[in-house]
């Protein structure tokens, strides 16, 4: 009976030690996802911060494009109001965030097309500089989204493996959603000459 109690205590201590190591690693990986989510949001915020300057520059040349300016302003407001906590990175929330950002991207695309009708805008150094900054920011967004997906994959895989899957359930660690390509990106564009 004494040996049985000793074996039980050793098994209990081993289980607690193993679960604490797994718990600490889950916390570290969850914090990495939270940190990377912050980087994604910062990249999108940088884009949102560039938009008023871009709109103001274009407005100076293209006074007849009020509908486009309104669309950009409304899309920017919607995208910046979308605030998702790193604790609630569900598939639905990520899709809502991605949709708002996609609408802003489309409105920005329409804004940038205005330059075709205004040759003097094409030559404006401030516009060209803002356009370059916007392109760089779009690249940063892509990089940060990819890093987020990689960090999220690492976290999700870890909490779903045995024996962490047991501890994850005990301590309420849940999988996080990924950024996915938009529906438009699923099919290649048709080019006709």
pTM above 0.85, yes or no: no
d(CA 112, CA 46): 17
Task: Give kind and range of the element (H or E) at residue 52.
Answer: helix 2-61
Instruction: State how far the Cα of 134 lies from the Cα of 178, in Å rounded to an integer.
Output: 24
Q: Is the pLDDT of residue 15 over 60?
A: no
Of residues 107 and 8, more confidently modeled: 107
Q: What is the pLDDT of residues 85-105, one digit of tens each?
A: 888 899 999 999 999 999 999
At residue 144, the pLDDT reads 96
The pLDDT value recorded for residue 116 is 84
Average pLDDT, the chain: 84
pLDDT at res. 26: 92
What does the domain layout of the chain look like in residue ranges?
2-35+45-179
DSSP state letters, 140-193: HHHHHHHHHHHHHHHHHHHHHSTTHHHHHHHTT----------GGGGSPPP---
- Measure the CA–CA gap between 97 and 91, rounded to whole angstroms: 10
User: pLDDT class for 124, splitting at 50, 70, 90?
Assistant: confident
Is the pLDDT assigned to residue 23 strictly greater than 70?
A: yes
Cis ω for the linkage preceding 84 (within 30 of 0): no
Model pLDDT for residues 145-184, shown as the tens digit of each residue: 999 999 999 999 999 998 888 888 888 899 999 988 765 5
DSSP conformation class of 1: -
Residues in the chain: 193
- Predicted confidence at residue 188, as pLDDT, reads 45
Sign of the torsion formed by the C-alpha atoms of 97, 98, 99 and 101 = positive
Q: Which residues contact 100 (CB under 8 A, 6 or more apart)?
A: 75, 78, 79, 82
């Amino acid at each position: 009976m004494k040996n049985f109690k000793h074996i039980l205590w050793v098994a209990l201590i081993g289980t607690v030690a193993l679960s604490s190591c797994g718990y600490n690693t889950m916390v570290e990986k969850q914090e990495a996802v939270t940190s990377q989510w912050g980087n994604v949001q910062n990249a999108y915020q940088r884009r949102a911060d560039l938009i008023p300057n871009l709109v103001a520059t274009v407005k100076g040349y293209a006074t007849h494009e009020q509908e486009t300016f309104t669309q950009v302003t409304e899309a920017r407001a919607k995208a910046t109001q979308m605030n998702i906590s790193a604790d609630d990175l569900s598939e639905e929330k990520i899709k809502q965030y991605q949709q708002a950002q996609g609408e802003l991207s489309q409105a920005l695309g329409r804004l940038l097309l205005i330059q075709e009708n205004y040759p003097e805008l094409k030559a404006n150094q401030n516009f060209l500089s803002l356009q370059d900054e916007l392109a760089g920011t779009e690249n940063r967004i892509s990089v940060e989204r990819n890093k987020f997906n990689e960090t999220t994959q690492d976290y999700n895989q870890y909490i779903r493996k045995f024996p962490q899957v047991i501890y994850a359930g005990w301590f309420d660690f849940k999988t996080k959603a990924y950024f996915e390509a938009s529906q438009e990106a699923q099919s290649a564009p048709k080019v006709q000459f």
